[in-house]
Amino acid sequence: MKNLLTILAGIIIISCNNTNKSSSEGFQYERVKEDTTSVQASNSVSNKVVINSNDQMKFDKKIIRVNSNEEVTLTLNHTGRFPVSSMGHNFVLLKKDVDVNSYALNAAGARNNDYIPEGGNEIAYTKMLGGGESDTITFDAPEPGTYIFICSFPGHYQLMMGEFIVI
Ligand SMILES: [Cu+2]
């Protein structure tokens, strides 16, 4: 006969059934992409135009209104700090009916010409600027209508695009 050693183990089961547990599931913070640039919804008409651009790849104007049959003086400021090589900005006013997507594609390949492609599809354009720089251009306002302006630095035009309305 074997001696049987019986060990009795006392098992204490602690029930931790907290039914009052508040549910934290389903509560998610959604990262809202904030537009930190205040876009001016300008209704004013002036042939003296100042437009700012920044390190967030934004123009501060989506709409520019000018009078026809008058000269336009336009100043582009780059208010950021990044150099022209990584965050260059220009202002390019496209002729009517120029396809902006194909223009931007061509522009991206025109690095040696400040991203202004051949073809003469611009009404006017500024220099390509780095942070802290400015350029002012003067040109005759085109015929009344709505024109597109962009920055032609590679990858910028989709964020840096607006309407140039000639009244
Ligand atoms: Cu740009």
Residues 100-131: tens digit of each pLDDT: 999 999 999 999 999 999 999 999 999 999 99
The rounded Å distance from CA 140 to ligand 1 centre is 24
Q: Which residue has the higher pLDDT, 145 or 43?
A: 145
- So what's the pLDDT on residue 155? 97
The rounded Å distance from CA 89 to ligand 1 centre is 3
- What is the mean predicted confidence (pLDDT) over 85-113? 97
Please name which of 59, 64, 82 lies closest in space to residue 156, comparing C-alpha atoms: 59
The rounded Å distance from CA 33 to ligand 1 centre is 20
The rounded Å distance from CA 94 to ligand 1 centre is 15
State how far the Cα of 70 lies from the Cα of 67, in Å rounded to an integer. 6
- So what's the pLDDT on residue 44? 87
The rounded Å distance from CA 13 to ligand 1 centre is 66
The rounded Å distance from CA 84 to ligand 1 centre is 9
The rounded Å distance from CA 24 to ligand 1 centre is 43
Write out pLDDT tens, residues 33-53. Answer: 344 344 444 578 999 999 999
Strands (E), the chain: 48-53, 63-66, 71-78, 92-94, 122-125, 134-140, 145-150, 161-166
Q: Is the pLDDT of residue 29 over 50?
A: no
C-alpha separations of 36 from 39, 57, 58 in Å: 9, 11, 10
The rounded Å distance from CA 87 to ligand 1 centre is 6
Write out pLDDT tens, residues 41-84. Answer: 457 899 999 999 999 999 999 999 999 999 999 999 999 999 99
Q: Is the pLDDT of residue 7 over 50?
A: no
- So what's the pLDDT on residue 42? 55
The rounded Å distance from CA 130 to ligand 1 centre is 9
The rounded Å distance from CA 58 to ligand 1 centre is 7
Q: Is the pLDDT of residue 10 over 50?
A: no
pTM, to two decimals: 0.75
- So what's the pLDDT on residue 92? 98
Q: Which residue has the higher pLDDT, 18 or 59?
A: 59
State how far the Cα of 150 lies from the Cα of 100, in Å rounded to an integer. 8
Please name which of 72, 37, 56 lies closest in space to residue 149, comparing C-alpha atoms: 72
Match 């000269």 to its residue by tokens: 71
* Chain mean pLDDT for the chain: 83
